[in-house]
Amino acid sequence: MHRLLLLGCLWLLAAPPASSIFQRPTGTPAPLRLQYLLEPLHPTVHTQRGATATLPCVLRALPHNYRVKWSKVEPANYRENIIIITNGLYHKNYGPLSPRVRLRHSHRYDASLTITNVALEDEGRYRCQLVNGLEDESISLTLHLEGVVFPYQPSNGRYRFNYHEAKRACEQQDSRLATYQQLYKAWTEGLDWCNAGWILDGTVHYPIINSREPCGGRLLLPGVRTYGARDKQKDRFDAFCFTSALQGQVYFIRGHLNFKEAGQACRNHGAAIAKVGQLYSAWKFSQLDRCDGGWLADGSVRYPITTPRERCGGLPDPGVRSFGFPSKEMRTYGTYCFVG
């Protein structure tokens, strides 16, 4: 008994700090080769909102008295939240993912995790851990949602959101605050925006393709510029939101409508006035292309262009163009509606 306690203490003393679990310092020995878990062929699983995705975790042998624990590392706070635990015969689900997760269990060695009706917040890093006394081992996988990042600011101008307001604003527009990886990918695909905005981990950035004086100067190289972590209560910026595929359709109703009439026109068709994230999603995934400005749920007027042309704003790149937030009494525009 004393010997076991001593071994346990020695193991704790030799264990790496939490920060090195996922990143091994240069020059340290390679981790032990997996004995029971198979390395996944593809550590990143690509999916879209509303789909069913499976994260693979397969055992090559079944040790005695083992458990498999699935958990998710939350990008906003880096906490690891348990999703499901199984001993091969029984399992228990935990947390908000509980109603939408199950073990695939296509054979006795299969502990893969299946997520149904994938949501925006499901994107991130997952861990499948074999718990087997001193022989614990784990693999990490990433669930990646195909989507689009868009900058967002309210009707009263730029730099109005603290972190919590930015998070809520994205959610109100059928999206969520983007992760750094999502913002970086959007930059590589051409996102060029001079206003700084919050992202999910509480840091502030802005992506620049074309260096220019109002955006840090011409001498700075293109890239995702950063302000680092800011005070989530006091500091105020715009937001970078992320959305994925729609479970529904966005369409345009032509007319000369004020904002109230626009909402009613959608309801007359059994639909709702579209949100900003829904319009971006329809532009990205359904190639919605219209030269007509239309009201959206936040009171802004926008239109989606997939094939740039001179008469539709004249800009050379595809995108969702904006007329800003005109007076809601104006009868100049049609409306974009969403039906699920």
| Among 218, 243, 268, residue at a domain's last position | 243
Residue 2 confidence (pLDDT) above 70: no
Neighbour count for residue 165 (Cβ, 10 Å): 16
255 occurs within a structural domain: yes
Neighbour count for residue 33 (Cβ, 10 Å): 7
pLDDT tens digits for range 152-201: 999 999 999 999 999 999 999 999 999 999 999 999 999 999 999 999 99
For the ranges 15-24, 82-91, 242-251, 327-336, the lowest mean pLDDT is seen at 15-24
Say whether both 233 and 250 belong to one domain: no
21 occurs within a structural domain: no
Say whether both 61 and 154 belong to one domain: no
pLDDT tens digits for range 105-147: 999 999 999 999 999 999 999 999 999 876 789 999 999 999 9
124 occurs within a structural domain: yes
C-beta separation of 143 from 43 below 8 A: no
| Among 180, 211, 243, residue at a domain's last position | 243
Say whether both 81 and 68 belong to one domain: yes
70 occurs within a structural domain: yes
CATH number for the domain including 253? 3.10.100.10
| Among 199, 226, 243, residue at a domain's last position | 243
Q: Which amino acid is at 276?
A: V
129 occurs within a structural domain: yes
CATH number for the domain including 123? 2.60.40.10
Provide the residue range defining the domain that includes 323.
246-339
Domain count, the chain: 3
44 occurs within a structural domain: yes
What does the alpha-carbon distance between residue 321 and residue 273 come to, in Å, rounded to a whole number? 18
Q: Which long-range contacts (CB under 8 A, 24 or more apart) does 112-115 make?
A: 112/54, 112/55, 112/56, 112/57, 112/58, 113/54, 113/55, 113/57, 113/70, 113/83, 113/84, 114/52, 114/53, 114/54, 114/55, 115/52, 115/53, 115/54, 115/55, 115/143
109 occurs within a structural domain: yes
Residue 339: name the closest of 243, 255, 275 by CA.
Answer: 275
pLDDT, mean over the chain: 89
Say whether both 42 and 140 belong to one domain: yes
16 occurs within a structural domain: no
Residue 210 contacts by C-beta under 8 Å, 6 or more apart in sequence? 192, 222
Residue 333, beta-bridge partner list: 257
What does the alpha-carbon distance between residue 328 and residue 335 come to, in Å, rounded to a whole number? 12
pLDDT recorded at residue 77: 67
C-beta separation of 277 from 178 below 8 A: no
